[in-house]
Copies of this chain bind each other. A is one copy, B any other.
Amino acid sequence: MPLYEAAIFIGLIARKNNFFESQSMPPYSPSRKNSRLKVPGFRAAGVSCGIKKTGKKDLALLLSDVPAITAGVFTTNKVKAAPVMLDIRRLKKGISRGVIINSGNANACTGKDGYKDAERMASAVENLTGSGKGSVLVCSTGVIGVRLPVEKVERGVPSLVNNLSYDGFSDASQAVMTTDAFSKTAALSGRINGKTVTVAGFAKGAGMISPNMATMLAFIATDARIGIGALRRSLRTAVDLTFNSIIVDNDTSTNDTVLAFANGLSGCREIKTDSEAFKAFSALLNGVCMKLAHMIVKDGEGATRFIEINITGAVSTEQARRAARTIAESFLVKTAFFGGDPNWGRIMAALGRAGIRWKEGMTDIFFNGVQVVKDGCDAGNESKAAKAIKTKDVLVEVGLRAGRCSAKVWTTDLSFDYVRINSSYRT
């Protein structure tokens, strides 16, 4: 489903149920609760196969006991890593057994040989687990432009498969880390169509890209029973509101991938699109994606602050998102927040070049609840605002008074450490 349809969909359900009002919380799930990090029928593992020179875990596997309905959202970058091209092809039928992931090498810009290496990674798992040919997906993250040491992967797969465990999500989450400072996992469960349904996942990412050692990957497992059309729709919406609404450094990786696997083992009746059950499931999926996405921002390279940009009063959701992104992407806004400077002029200037329809004189801006701009001019609260933003979490609210649409994005400040991490030589 293209972004455009997703936006319409969000608009419709938001208008009908108003449950996206507090977008930063999973929006809808009366029975939702934090769940243990396991999902019936899903085993996972993480081991070291020697790609990382440090000897840290660098090979992960997530495998369903039975074939699982599988949806994927992939990087929009035209330069796609070999495993991304493999997965897109394999996911046309919407079903798989799971995914093998390596960290330390992105297998990107590696040509036809790289594609064969990705196929060999998948085959190694398929052969050893008796999964059908073409049933295993592949993800890679790490250095761009260097051939994957596929023999190391193949030698590691037996130990990887031996370590598969229903409690293995945590091990797997460690094996996908690159520049990440901490591993990222989340789980939620709720009653849907008469059964307890669990959604659990793990992710990696610290810059939106750093071909040095990074990218954004997320893997979601659920025992919900759901068709491929409904799963794709729910995942696309969740990704737009979460992973596509976080900005660390504006870059899009060659490897960005989000995969969702639904094996149906909860035994619930099938979740149909647009039903109450679909809304409840989407709330669980959105909640898990949101938790993982916020962890990625908080782990942003060199980040010292977690900043939420909240645009209201835009003429369309698309324009609200564009305004929020332009602010979040501004070097000058990000460095000002690093310095604790309530420099609202930089936000006005970002709005002015965002290509949105609104009037400068109708703008209101609040920093952590303190009004800094009123009707497009200084609200006279500079010193109060400077005190208010000396916090780790900063809320920037921008009211445009041009329409009724809104959007949120989450970002970080731009610090000395960001420059240090990203300027150091790769070897």
Residues of A at the B interface (CB closer than 8 Å) are: 76-80, 106, 108-111, 143-146, 207, 209-212, 249-254, 329-332, 335-336, 338-341, 343-346, 348-353, 356, 360-361, 373, 375-378, 386, 414-416, 418-420, 422-426
Contact = CB atoms under 8 A, between A and B. Distances in A.
B79 A349 contact: yes
Contacts of A250: 329-331
A109 B348 contact: yes
Contact of A349 (B253, B331, B339, B378): B253
Contacts of A254: 345, 348-349, 352
Given A332-B249, A338-B419, A340-B425, A348 B414 contact: no
A349 B77 contact: yes
A141 to B, nearest CB: 12
A110 to B, nearest CB: 7
A414 B419 contact: yes
B419 A145 contact: no
Given A252-B353, A335-B418, 18 more contacts: A77-B353, A79-B349, A79-B351, A109-B345, A109-B378, A111-B376, A143-B345, A144-B348, A209-B346, A249-B331, A252-B352, A254-B348, A331-B331, A331-B414, A336-B423, A339-B423, A341-B423, A341-B424
Contacts of A111: 361, 375-377
Contacts of A78: 351-353, 356, 360
A361 B113 CA distance: 13
A187 to B, nearest CB: 32
Contacts of A419: 335, 338, 414-416, 418-419
Contacts of A330: 250-251
A339 B344 CA distance: 31
B77 A332 contact: no
A349 B423 contact: no
The 6 closest A-B CB pairs, nearest first, are: A144-B345, A339-B423, A79-B352, A211-B345, A335-B422, A77-B352
A423 B338 contact: yes
Contacts of A422: 331-332, 335-336, 339
A416 B109 CA distance: 30
Contacts of A360: 78-79, 109
A343 B212 CA distance: 8
A378 B147 CA distance: 10
A414 B331 CA distance: 10
A44 B228 CA distance: 72
Contacts of A348: 79, 108-109, 144-145, 211, 254
A302 B336 CA distance: 15
Contacts of A76: 353
Contact of A332 (B207, B329, B356, B415): B207
Contacts of A338: 419, 423
Contacts of A424: 339, 341
A311 to B, nearest CB: 15
A345 B77 CA distance: 13
A250 B373 CA distance: 23
15 contacts: A78-B360, A79-B352, A109-B373, A109-B377, A111-B375, A143-B345, A146-B378, A212-B343, A249-B331, A252-B352, A253-B349, A254-B348, A332-B422, A341-B423, A414-B419
A112 to B, nearest CB: 9
Q: Which among A250, A329, A418 has the greatest number of chain B C-beta atoms within 10 A?
A: A250
B211 A349 contact: yes
A332 B377 contact: no
